[in-house]
Amino acid sequence: MKIVIIGGVAGGATAAARIRRLDEHAEIIIFERSGYISYANCGLPYYIGGIIEDPEELTLQTPENFFSRFRVNVKVRHEVTAIHPEGKSVSVRNLETGETFSESYDRLILSPGAKPTQPGLPGVGIQNMFTLRTVEDTFRIKKYISEKNPKSAILAGGGFIGLELAENLRELGMDVTIVQRPRQLMNPFDPDMASFIHSEVKRHGVKLALGYTVEGFEEENGGVNVLLKDRPPLHADMVVLAIGVTPDTGLAKAAGLELGIKGSILVNDQMETSAPGIYAVGDAVQVKHSVTGQDALISLAGPANKQGRIAADNICGHASHYHGSQGSSVIKIFGITAAVTGTNEKNAKAAGLETDKVYLSPMNHAGYYPGGKLMTMKVIFEKGTFRLLGAQIIGYDGVDKRIDVLSAAIHAGLKATALKELDLAYAPPYSSAKDPVNMAGFMIDNISKGILKQFHTEDVKCLPRDGSVTLLDSRTPYEYALGHIDGFVNIPVDSLRERLQELDIEKPVYVICQSGLRSYIACRILSGNGYDCYNFSGGFRLYDSVTNDRCLIETSTGCGMDGR
């Protein structure tokens, strides 16, 4: 059997290695138009910033190594120009010699990946404008920085690559601005959690121009002007387009394969396209989101590797199925770690799911062990069924551990209430006897039993200030003086029992503290004494982050805050 693979990197290289492990006698050829068969996309910004010093560290395999171990014939700098499904062949051009030839196949795997989205705007492609997707892109940026010593950069786009590059350019001492139309960075996160990301990047000197519409680019004084709608242009020595990627599916379209959203390749759960014997994997294919069931494009290395393995299994006669992508990811942003899995609240609601959520701010390990740091967790679940839908965590050490536990729980179909039952490893340097994941489960279990009733940031503005409800801040007087929500009166939790006579038992009580823990205790005291009580999920720390972030983005002041 002869298998031709178009494209290497994650999906194509994985498929080739898996086929060889299953079939020692198959003939396997990979055509890769770049000069590299398998490289670490996610490491590219860190080479630009000097964290990764040796460029050879970026290349996971060379054609020679791949042939030596797997007897896979890798032809780099070879571009497939056409697919001929009827004749089971592809047309190929050698990009170094210009030679063209035809190559036959018994099975074909498409792993073309995605290309940086190039907006149809005036000035795209001018000097000092870059994209970052391949090793060659990385070398071009690195060479420009080394030779020209630019002092400033504008990044159009605030996703994974944009943020990683922003960090590395700042570490080089450059003035960095991120500009984009969406009003938040990192769309996999909800806006409330993204507020912590915004705070961190601004703390390290990155300027944010969110909600700005880019209308074009022009050269000026050896640099680039970024032209904005209804705003003065921004100027920098260099610009990097990082506004996302588009499935690179021109070959598939020309060959008549069925396409999906944004021109992606449609495949079944065995990764086979509409043309029998032709498979597709990686960033170019449409998948199902495993939580919402909706069609999705998820450009991550993990899914691409799994898809390559599944395509290889099926080609070699081993039935294997892809059950969708969950979108689990993690990123280092200066001093913090941000991680996400499943669906966010916005997308869950768009999919027609009725959602609820809990926020908590636990320490990454036992509080009495030195060096503990807070993390902020948001866990989303379906009302009524308590099906676990997604989670977002922002913090320091231990974030990756918790997101992986929650990812596994979602994949296993656990209910959110079952998180309380997980038997997780504990030692003071690593966790607490009640792990943060367990704590989320305890909170959701309390909701399911009617023990805990909540209100959220978006509810605060709707709370009446006419005396018909009691608004209570259960923190210390010192904390209250540093900042509080207008209309909330201060009774510390530890003196609440002695001051119950100050509260009207006929009125609902809405309670807030710094993180949500003391206000929950206050609610239990109040409920035990006959009051109808609601706890603010996430506490003043979350409220302060969200409202300050909105104020800065909307360039307004005040936003209902007192005492600061």
Indicate which residues carry an active-site annotation: 42
Instruction: Please name which of 29, 18, 126 lies closest in space to residue 74, comparing C-alpha atoms.
Output: 29
The answer to whether the CB of 75 falls within 8 A of the CB of 56 is no
Structure tokens at 390: 């997604």
Sign of CA dihedral 384, 385, 389, 395: positive
Please state, as a whole number, how many other Cβ atoms lie within 10 Å of the Cβ of residue 275: 18
The answer to whether the CB of 158 falls within 8 A of the CB of 209 is no
Distance CA(53)–CA(56), nearest Å, equals 9
Write the single-letter amino acid at 144: Y
Pairing of strands 295-296, 287-288: antiparallel
**CA angle centred on 425, ends 424 and 427, rounded to 5°:** 140
Distance CA(514)–CA(419), nearest Å, equals 24
Please state, in angstroms and as integers, the Cα–Cα distance from residue 365 to each residue in 98, 352, 368, following that order: 60, 37, 9
Q: What's the distance, CA 515 to chain centroid?
A: 24
Structure tokens at 252: 């598939």
Please state, as a whole number, how many other Cβ atoms lie within 10 Å of the Cβ of residue 319: 8
Point out which residues pair with 218 in neighbouring strands: 225
Both ends of the chain: CA-CA distance in Å? 72
The answer to whether the CB of 397 falls within 8 A of the CB of 364 is yes
Point out which residues pair with 378 in neighbouring strands: 359, 392
